[in-house]
Amino acid sequence: MIEKMKAEHQTHEFPPVYDEASRILILGSFPSVKSREQHFYYGHPQNRFWKVLARILECEIPATVEDKKEMLLLHHIALWDVIESCDITGSSDSSIRNVVVNDFNRIFKTAEIRCVYANGATAKKLYEKYAKKMTEKPITGLPSTSPANAAYSVERLMESWIQIKHFL
């Protein structure tokens, strides 16, 4: 008999990546199970985030967490998630409930963020619902790099994601 997964309360357990030179902020919704296991962003091997970003930035796809942080900071990119804690079933964005939003002021007080981007519709919707009033910064939605977004190939993702270069 297959047991139905239950929503569990989860807390975001790794910090944002940013410094005073960061110029854009890319936000996901909440880390996937694989990302939570690895304690870093976009840890699922089928997620195309690192591949798309590396191609846009014209650099090697980073292999380690340190390489990923270095690539982000070298190109003035801040990375975080909208949610600090929530109830979630596995990695399912559609199951997210009881949201506590992250405090984005820690990034906005340090860096001159020119544009905020959402990696996927859920991240955009959550930011607009819970954070936009506090930050007073608009967010631009980009198609999700998640493997669940099978309608988008890497090439099609790049067509949308290339716009981040305008703010770097």
Query: Can you give 51-79 as a three-state secondary structure string?
Result: HHHHHHHCCCCCCCHHHHHHHHHHCCEEE
Q: At residue 88, does pLDDT exceed 90?
A: yes
Q: What is the predicted pLDDT for the residue at 1?
A: 43
**Where in the sequence numbering do the catalytic residues fall?**
47
Tokens linked to 36: 């939570």
Q: Is the pLDDT of residue 89 over 80?
A: yes
Q: Classify residue 146: in a domain, yes or no.
A: yes
Q: Is residue 158 part of a domain?
A: yes
pLDDT at residue 12 is higher than 80 = yes
Is 4 within a domain?
Answer: no
pLDDT of residue 6: 83
Is 81 within the bounds of a domain?
yes
- Report yes or no on 6 lying in a domain: no
- pTM: predicted TM-score of the whole model, two decimal places: 0.94
CA distance 47 to 52: 10
Show the tokens assigned to 53: 């970003």
Question: Is position 2 within any domain?
Answer: no
pLDDT of residue 72: 98
Residue 168 is predicted with a pLDDT of 83
- The closest of 38, 50, 39, 34 to 12, measured between CA atoms, is 39
Q: What is the pLDDT of residue 94?
A: 86
Q: Report, as an integer, the average pLDDT of 59-83.
A: 97
Residue 159: its H or E element: helix 154-161
Q: Is residue 3 part of a domain?
A: no
* pLDDT > 60? residue 3: no
Report the CATH number at residue 106.
3.40.470.10
Q: Give me the pLDDT at residue 4, please.
A: 64
Q: What is the percentage of the chain residues whose pLDDT exceeds 90? A: 88
* 40 domain-assigned: yes
Give the mean pLDDT of 111-135. 96
Q: Do residues 141 and 121 lie in contact, with contact meaning Cβ atoms separated by under 8 Å? A: yes
Q: What contacts 5, CB < 8 A, 6 or more positions away? A: 89, 90
DSSP 16-48: -B--TT--EEEEESS--HHHHHHTSSS-STT--
Question: How many distinct structural domains can be found in the chain?
Answer: 1
146 burial class (0-12, 13-18, 19+ CB within 10 angstroms)? buried
User: What is the span of the domain harbouring residue 160?
Assistant: 11-167
What's the order of all strands across the beta sheet hosting 8-11? 8-11, 83-88, 97-101
Question: Looking at the predicted structure, is the pLDDT value of residue 34 above 90?
Answer: yes
Whether the CA torsion 127, 131, 133, 134 is positive or negative: it is: negative
Q: Where does the pLDDT of residue 111 fall: very low under 50, low under 70, confident under 90, or very high at 90 and above?
A: very high
Q: What is the pLDDT of residue 109?
A: 96
